C-alpha cells in the first residue's frame, strides 16, 4: 500500500525547506541553485582509458578506417549513437555507419550475428554505446576477426572483470572518475569533449568553434532524464544546459514532434522529455524499428521531419496494440471466477517489449502484482512485472525454480521462463505470494511529501521557489505538497475519451485548477466530489498549454 509521510516544517522559507529535504546543505546551496558548465563538469581525461580511446579514433579518422557505431535501442543508446554520429561528421570522419540492434530479434547488447556482419564488411573499429561492459564473448570474437572495440557505457561490470577492448569508458569501472552516475550519452559527451580538446591541440587551425560541443547537450539531456540517473553533481549541469540547447534546438525532427504535440520549444521542460519526446523514441524500439528514432534525431529538414511523423504514427500504433492486449486480458478475466492474488497472463503472439506497459496497467487497476509475457523473435518467453504491494523481486526469488532469469527492483522487473514452466508459473507465483504474506513481506511504499501548504500559498512567488530547484528527476524529485481541507467547486472528466480528471478549487483571489492525466476520480484513495472536503497530494507546476501560461496543481492522490 502507498503511504504518505509529510516532512516536518523546520525552515521559515519554503525554498530552504525543499533544499533541506533534498540533502542540500547551506554550504552547497548556491552551487546547487546555479549550475555552471565550466565549474561543475569534470575533466574528461580523468576517466580511465580516455586517452587511449581518443587516440584510436583519431587514427581511424586519419586512415579512413571503416567504423561502426553500435548503440542500444533505448532512449539512452539512440541519443548516444546520434551524438557520436554528429561528432564524427563534424570532425571529418566519413567512413562509418550507425547500427542499432532489433529489440525483438536481436535483444539487448552486442551480439554474435552483428559482429559476424561487421567482420564480413571489413570493419576495423566498433564503438559500442550503452552496452558492451559484459559482452566478453562477442568482443573476443570481434578481436579475433580483426576488429578493435571501444565501449562507452555506464552499466556495472561483472565483479570488476573488463572485456578485451581497446578502451572501456565507464565511470563505474573504478574510482578514477569523480562522478559514477553518468548515463551512456553523458559518457559519450565526455568522449566528445576529450576528442575535441585533443584535436584542437593537434590542429590549432581547425574550423570547429570552441564550445561547438555544447550543441550536443540536447541529446545528453534527453538521455539523462529518460534513463533516470540521479540529477545531481555533473548531471545537474549537463541537463540544465541541455535544456537550454533544446529550447533553441536545430533538430528538425525534434521540432516536428514538439509542433505535433503543441509544445513551444521555448518552454520545454523535463516533463516534455519524459512524457512527449522520450516515449516516442522508445516506441521505435518497442515496435521493432529503432532506426526511425535515430533518423528523427540526426536527420535533415526532410528526413528528420518525416521520421518524426513516422514516430508519431508508431506511438499511436503502440498505444493501440497495448489497448488490444489489455482488452484481451479483460475478456479472459470475464471467464474467471476470481482474479488471483498474482496476475500471470500472456500470449505467444504478444511482443515482450510491450508487456511492461500492460503489466503496469493491470497492477494499478487490480491492486496486485502482474506478470505479463510474450515470445520474442528468438522464440524465448520473456515478460515484465509490476507491483504496488508485494515485491516482484521477492516473488521471483521464491519462484526461482520456475524462472530462468529475472531481476529488477521491488515495483518493476523483467523475467524469462522456459516453455515447459509457463503454464504453471501462475500457480507458483501465487504460492510464493501466500508464503510472503505469511512472512509479512508485503512492501509498503512510502512517499515523502515535502510540506503542507494552503491554497492561498499557491502563488507566483511560491512557484519561483519551486522552479529554482529545477531540473527535476532522480534524487531531485519535483516538490510534492499536501493541501489539506479543500472543497472542490467542481469535478469533471476531460479529454477526447474522458480519461483525465480536473478539479476546480476556489481560493480567495482566483480559482485554481488541479488535474490528473489518465486518472479518473474513482482511481484515487478517496473519490473527489464537488462540495465534499478532501486533502490533495499534488505538485504545483507551470503549464503553457496552447501557449497560455497557467499555474496549476498536478494531482498525485486524493485522501
| Whole-number percent of the chain with pLDDT over 90 | 86
In a domain, 26, yes or no: yes
CB 246 within 8 A of CB 254: yes
Q: What is the pLDDT of residue 28?
A: 93
In a domain, 324, yes or no: no
> Which of residues 419, 443, 467 is at a domain's end?
443
- In this structure, the answer to whether residues 61 and 172 fall within a common structural domain is yes
- In this structure, the answer to whether residues 218 and 269 fall within a common structural domain is no
H helices present in 335-446, as ranges: 355-366, 392-398, 425-438
CB 69 within 8 A of CB 284: no
CB 388 within 8 A of CB 396: no
- In this structure, the answer to whether residues 232 and 275 fall within a common structural domain is no
Q: What is the pLDDT of residue 377?
A: 87
- In this structure, the answer to whether residues 405 and 488 fall within a common structural domain is no
For 227, phi then psi, to 5°, come to -85, 0
- In this structure, the answer to whether residues 223 and 368 fall within a common structural domain is no
Domain at 551, CATH number: 2.40.50.460
> Which of residues 443, 469, 494 is at a domain's end?
443
Which pTM does this prediction carry?
0.90
> Which of residues 241, 266, 284 is at a domain's end?
241
In a domain, 310, yes or no: yes
Judging by beta carbons within 10 Å of its beta carbon (0-12, 13-18, 19+), is residue 158 exposed, middle or buried?
exposed
* pLDDT tens sequence across 476-502: 999 999 999 999 999 999 998 999 999
Q: What is the pLDDT of residue 53?
A: 98
- Max distance between CA atoms of the chain, in angstroms, equals 77
Closest to 457 in 3D by CA, of 466, 449, 448: 466
Q: What is the pLDDT of residue 444?
A: 58
Q: Say whether 11 sits in a helix, a strand or coil.
A: coil
In a domain, 269, yes or no: yes
- In this structure, the answer to whether residues 83 and 205 fall within a common structural domain is yes
In a domain, 237, yes or no: yes
Domain at 419, CATH number: 3.10.310.30
* pLDDT tens sequence across 164-182: 999 999 999 999 999 999 9
* Residue, of 50 and 157, whose pLDDT is higher: 50
How many domains does the chain contain in total?
4
Q: How far apart are the C-alpha atoms of 121 and 129, rounded to whole Å?
A: 20
- In this structure, the answer to whether residues 235 and 270 fall within a common structural domain is no
Q: How far apart are the C-alpha atoms of 146 and 123, rounded to whole Å?
A: 8
Q: What is the pLDDT of residue 367?
A: 86
Cell digits for 273? 522529455
Q: What is the pLDDT of residue 48?
A: 98
In a domain, 210, yes or no: yes
- In this structure, the answer to whether residues 493 and 352 fall within a common structural domain is no
- In this structure, the answer to whether residues 120 and 256 fall within a common structural domain is no
Strand duo 67-71 + 125-129: pairing: parallel
Closest to 49 in 3D by CA, of 196, 164, 202: 164
Residues 6+ apart with CB under 8 A from 223: 75, 76, 79, 80, 183, 184, 185, 186
SS3 percent helix, strand, coil of the chain, rounded to 5, is 45, 20, 35
Radius of gyration, CA atoms only, the chain? 25
In a domain, 35, yes or no: no
| Domain of 367, in residue numbers | 336-443
**Statement: residue 386 has pLDDT above 70:** yes
For 210, phi then psi, to 5°, come to -60, 130
Amino acid at each position: 500500500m502507498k503511504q504518505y509521510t509529510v516532512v516536518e516544517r523546520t525552515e521559515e522559507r519554503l525554498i530552504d525547506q525543499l533544499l533541506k529535504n533534498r540533502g542540500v546543505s547551506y554550504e552547497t546551496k548556491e552551487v546547487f541553485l546555479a549550475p555552471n558548465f565550466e565549474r561543475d563538469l569534470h575533466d574528461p581525461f580523468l576517466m580511465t582509458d580516455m586517452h587511449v580511446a581518443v587516440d584510436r579514433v583519431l587514427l581511424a579518422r586519419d586512415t579512413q578506417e571503416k567504423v561502426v557505431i553500435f548503440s542500444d535501442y533505448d532512449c539512452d543508446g539512440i541519443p548516444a549513437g546520434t551524438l557520436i554520429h554528429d561528432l564524427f561528421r563534424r570532425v571529418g570522419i566519413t567512413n562509418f555507419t550507425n547500427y542499432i540492434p532489433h529489440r525483438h530479434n536481436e535483444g539487448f547488447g552486442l551480439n554474435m550475428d552483428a559482429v559476424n556482419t561487421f567482420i564480413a564488411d571489413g570493419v576495423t573499429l566498433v564503438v559500442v554505446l550503452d552496452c558492451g561492459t559484459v559482452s566478453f564473448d562477442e568482443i573476443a570474437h570481434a578481436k579475433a576477426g580483426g576488429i578493435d572495440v571501444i565501449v562507452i557505457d555506464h552499466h556495472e561490470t561483472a565483479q570488476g572483470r573488463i572485456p578485451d577492448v581497446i578502451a572501456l569508458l565507464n565511470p563505474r569501472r573504478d574510482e578514477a572518475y569523480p562522478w559514477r552516475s553518468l548515463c551512456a550519452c553523458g559518457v559519450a559527451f565526455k568522449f566528445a569533449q576529450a576528442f575535441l580538446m585533443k584535436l584542437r591541440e593537434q590542429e590549432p587551425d581547425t574550423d570547429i568553434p570552441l564550445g561547438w560541443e555544447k550543441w550536443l547537450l540536447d541529446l545528453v539531456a534527453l538521455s539523462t532524464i529518460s534513463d533516470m540517473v540521479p540529477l545531481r553533481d555533473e548531471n545537474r549541469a549537463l541537463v540544465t544546459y541541455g535544456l537550454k540547447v533544446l529550447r533553441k534546438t536545430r533538430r528538425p525532427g525534434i521540432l516536428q514532434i514538439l509542433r505535433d504535440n503543441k509544445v513551444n520549444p521555448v518552454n520545454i521542460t523535463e516533463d516534455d522529455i519524459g512524457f512527449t519526446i522520450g516515449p516516442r523514441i522508445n516506441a521505435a524500439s518497442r515496435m521493432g524499428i529503432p532506426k526511425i528514432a535515430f533518423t528523427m534525431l540526426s536527420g535533415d529538414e526532410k528526413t528528420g521531419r518525416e521520421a518524426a511523423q513516422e514516430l508519431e504514427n508508431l506511438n499511436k500504433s503502440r498505444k493501440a496494440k497495448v489497448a488490444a492486449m489489455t482488452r484481451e486480458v479483460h475478456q479472459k478475466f470475464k471467464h474467471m471466477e476470481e482474479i488471483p492474488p498474482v496476475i500471470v497472463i500472456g500470449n505467444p503472439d504478444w511482443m515482450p517489449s510491450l508487456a511492461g506497459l500492460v503489466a503496469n496497467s493491470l497492477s494499478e487497476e487490480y491492486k496486485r502484482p502482474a506478470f505479463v509475457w510474450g515470445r520474442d523473435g528468438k522464440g524465448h518467453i520473456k515478460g515484465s512485472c509490476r507491483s504496488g504491494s508485494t515485491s516482484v523481486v521477492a516473488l521471483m526469488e521464491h519462484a526461482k525454480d520456475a524462472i530462468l532469469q529475472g531481476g529488477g527492483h521491488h515495483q518493476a522487473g523483467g523475467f524469462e521462463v522456459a516453455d515447459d514452466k509457463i503454464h504453471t508459473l501462475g500457480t507458483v507465483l501465487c504460492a510464493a505470494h501466500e508464503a510472503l504474506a505469511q512472512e509479512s513481506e508485503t512492501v509498503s511504499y512510502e512517499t515523502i511529501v515535502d510540506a503542507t501548504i494552503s491554497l492561498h500559498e499557491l502563488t507566483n512567488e511560491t512557484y519561483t521557489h519551486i522552479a529554482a530547484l529545477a531540473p527535476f528527476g532522480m534524487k531531485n524529485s519535483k516538490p510534492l505538497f499536501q493541501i489539506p481541507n479543500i472543497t472542490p467547486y467542481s469535478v469533471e472528466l476531460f479529454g477526447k475519451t474522458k480519461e483525465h480528471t480536473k478539479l476546480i478549487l476556489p481560493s480567495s483571489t482566483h480559482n485554481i485548477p488541479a488535474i490528473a492525466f489518465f486518472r479518473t476520480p474513482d482511481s484515487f484513495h478517496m473519490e473527489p466530489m464537488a462540495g465534499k472536503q478532501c486533502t490533495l497530494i499534488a505538485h504545483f507546476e507551470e503549464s503553457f498549454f496552447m501557449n497560455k501560461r497557467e499555474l496549476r496543481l498536478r494531482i498525485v492522490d486524493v485522501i
